[in-house]
Amino acid sequence: MDDPRLTPARGDIAAKYLEGKVAAARFVDGTAREVMDAIAPLRGRPAADATLLTQALKGERVTIYDRNDEGWAWGQLDSDGYVGWLPDAALAKPTAAATHKVTAIRTFAFPGPSIKLPPTEALVMGSRLAIAREDDTFAVTSTGLFLPKPHLAPLDRNEGDFVAVAERFVGTPYLWGGKSSLGIDCSGLVQVALNAAGVGCPRDSDMQAAALGRPLDAAERKNLRRGDLLFWKGHVAIARDHDTMVHANAFHMATVIEDIKTAIARIKAAGSELTAIKRL
């Protein structure tokens, strides 16, 4: 059975491309939309108190297959294929194609070419923007927002060390379903860091365990390398070196650097064994 997290299909409606593959009362083509808010929640149900599955960032594209009368839109993110409910007010018809991405963990967008102006909004790493021109130290979007040029990079410019990206999130509060420096979970940290390095990455830790890298055997596990991924059921961490790892976790309620042996013992004591270590 197809993973419901990645399959836009319900009993009453499904994506047209799934016709003949799943059962549904009707099949629709969907409508292309762009995330306009800085961060938009994608939830399991069309309700503000529903579980946060993941987040969509400004400039991200999504295909919408259904809407309700309470202001929610059901669809699939173009980036990682995740399916869920988004606030319809956070979406709009796609604008100019993105040319740049935010590379700082947070930055401000200003209404004009001065840092003394009250910011229009705060954007986070991975946000996608269409830059129309430059104005001294600012990059100006097609919608007239001014952002500091050092906080942006062209879409095709990637970070050289995804572990260093993850390390920049140390101290970020833990947030189930989060994927920004305002709040992030374990798999969100891995996804954001790998995406910054130009590596495609699924959203959840079990998906990452299945899709990323190759498993290390017992001998290789004795010589961990920077960038190896450690997996438990429902959790993932990134090795910084042979002895330490960085991970977002609910024990510390933050992204932290932790001794690997200490973490393995602590998590085992809580009832979860290490299931795999994979090398990209």
Q: What is the pLDDT of residue 272?
A: 96
Instruction: Give, as one character, the DSSP assignment of residue 219.
Output: H
Among residues 129, 33, 123, 24, the alpha carbon closest in space to that of 78 is found at 33
Strands 27-28 and 14-15: parallel
2 — pLDDT class (breaks 50, 70, 90): confident
Residue 26 has pLDDT above 70, yes or no: yes
Residue 1's pLDDT is what? 53
- Listing DSSP states for 236-254 in one string gives EEEESSSSEEEEEETTTTE
What gap in Å lies between CA 272 and CA 2, rounded to an integer? 27
Give the C-alpha distances (Å, rounded to integers) separating 186 from 163, 229, 247, 270: 13, 11, 6, 17
Strand order in the sheet with 244-249: 214-215, 274-279, 229-232, 235-239, 244-249, 254-259
- Report the DSSP pairing between strands 72-77 and 61-67: antiparallel
- When the pLDDT of each residue in the chain is averaged and rounded to a whole number, the result is 97
145-197 per-position pLDDT tens digit: 999 999 999 999 999 999 999 999 999 999 999 999 999 999 999 999 999 99
The answer to whether the CB of 16 falls within 8 A of the CB of 31 is: no
How much of the chain exceeds pLDDT 70, in percent?
A: 100
Closest to 79 in 3D by CA, of 211, 200, 207, 213: 200
Residue 249, classified by CB atoms within 10 Å of its CB into exposed (0-12), middle (13-18) or buried (19+), is buried
